[in-house]
Structure 1
Amino acid sequence: MLSQIAPSDDLAFFRPHQFLARENERPEAYYDILEGWACRHRLLSDGRRQITALYLPGDLCDPIWPLSGVCHDAVVALTNVRAVRRPLGDMQPLDRSRGAGLRLAESIERQSGWLVSLGRKTAVERLAHLLLELFERMRRAGLAYGQQCALPLTQTDIADATGLTAVHVNRTLQAMRAKGVLEFHSKWLRIPDLGALRDLAALGPHDPV
């Protein structure tokens, strides 16, 4: 669920494409995302981009910063973002009072899932896994409505998160729509059958999302 806002909280606002942190920067604060989406990415020398994390409402951006003190990859807003700005010195690295330790563990587990997906899964399995993960994260934040949630990602964003081309993403999504396992309407995702999408993502009954 989303963090509660205290009167003393320092709110920060970012526009789409604005940096929350730049590559190899030493941030002075981390952000508790209240609204909007952001991503961490790395650019190759030829301009290709790999999205290495997506930050949604309820996420800490980034829970690793209090441990490392450095943002190795740039973090940029994908939509308008509203967040609580918390100085790094105000948090012990594994401070469980704010759930930071739990959210760090979830972030590490999610990265493992992405690694398996990128290394071993087919295009359909990768997309199904990513969309299911995003839906479940939005639901845990209280931002899913029935079987649907906001999905403000472009097909290029999805391609850069899954290691595919935008053309491949488009074709794969069309095939998934034709099978009736998902629907897109005006940046909203609807999943008629979560079990079917889970099967399509090659997830076992006890695999985390």
Structure 2
Amino acid sequence: MSVQFETARPVALFKPHQIIRKEQGALFRIQEGWACHYALLPDGRRQIITLYLPGDICDPRWVTGSDEPEEVLTLTAIKASPLSNRLIDGDDAERREFWRALSVIERRQRRWLLTLGRRSAGERIAYLFLEIYERMRRAGFAYGQQCAFNLTQTEIADLTGLTSVHVNRTIQGMRTRGQIELDGRWLRIPDPDLLRQVAAFHADEVVE
């Protein structure tokens, strides 16, 4: 059973490439759309650190007193529910939901650190496709073996630490081998088990 947070304000709407800023005592649950947190090098090179999809709370770290991250960037139009922080006076279910959201982000980032450090280019991109599909499926936004895929090749490069040229070449190879199908903004995975092998998934690994 999903836990209902107290709604602080009406549903919030954000345009693509708009900043969602940290607000005192509030955070957002994404209903529709994709967003991210990223960091920049002095020369402007970007690394996307956290990807937020429907169902995610962005960012639960805002309520812990942490200064990082301060803001979130929308990748698409966003519909989100502003949520009150009731960690102190909320019931046990509300507190568990918050800490679960926080721990899921940390586990995702640990797995992604392994991916960036040890997986090959093909494994990284296969892992990204699988993670997005599984997260969208869990949120009720997958249809059969396909789901929306709202990342450009530049954004995939910023997530995987590759160049856009390398991303393009790798995706074309995956298409040729029948590992994925990309049609506009839709991703289809014909054989998820095969793609798990390509991504070097552990047999018992579960995407959250």
The equivalent position to 1:123 in structure 2, one of 121, 140, 158, is 121
1:63 to 2:67 alignment: no
Distance apart, 1:207 and its partner CA: 1.9
Corresponding position of 1:91: 87
Segments of structure 1 that go 5 or more residues without pairing to the other structure are: none
In the alignment, what sits opposite 1:200? 198
Question: 1:7 Cα deviation (Å)?
Answer: 7.7
Amino acid in structure 1 at the alignment position of 2:45: R
Name the structure 1 match of 2:39: 42
Kindly provide the amino acid, as one letter, of the partner of residue 121 in structure 2: A
Q: Which amino acid aligns with 1:168?
A: H
CA–CA distance in 2 between the matches of 1:179 and 1:55? 29
Q: What's the RMSD between the two structures over aligned residues?
A: 2.3
> Which residue of 1 is the match for residue 134 of structure 2?
136
- The question of whether the paired residues in 2 share the 8 Å contact of 1:19 and 1:74 is answered with yes
CA contact (8 A) 2:28 2:81 kept: yes
Q: Counterpart of 2:174?
A: 176
In structure 2, runs of 5+ residues without a counterpart are none
Q: Give the secondary structure class of the aligned counterpart of 2:11.
A: strand
TM-score under structure 1 normalisation?
0.89
* Structure 1 residue 96: Cα displacement: 5.3
**Structure 1, residues 110-145: CA drift from partner, whole Å, max 9, x if none?**
111100000111000000111100000000001100
CA contact (8 A) 2:62 2:69 kept: no
- Give the Cα–Cα distance (whole angstroms) in 2 for the partners of residues 15 and 31 of structure 1: 15
CA contact (8 A) 1:67 1:93 kept: no
Q: Which residue does 1:54 correspond to in 2?
A: 51
Asked if the contact 1:3/1:58 (under 8 Å) is kept, the reply is no
Per the alignment, do residues 85 and 162 of structure 1 end up closer, same or farther by CA in structure 2, a change over 3 Å counting?
Answer: same
Who is 1:165 aligned against?
163
The one-letter code sitting in structure 1 at the alignment partner of 2:18 is Q
DSSP-derived class of the 1:149 partner: strand
Partner of 1:17: 17
User: Aligned pair count?
Assistant: 204
Q: TM-score, normalised by structure 2?
A: 0.90
CA distance in 2, matches of 1:53, 1:179: 29
Q: Deviations over 1:60-89 (max 9, x none)?
A: 00112211342435410000001011244x
What is the deviation of 1:107?
A: 1.2
Distance 1:7 1:104, change over 3 A: closer
- Other structure's SS at 1:33 match: strand
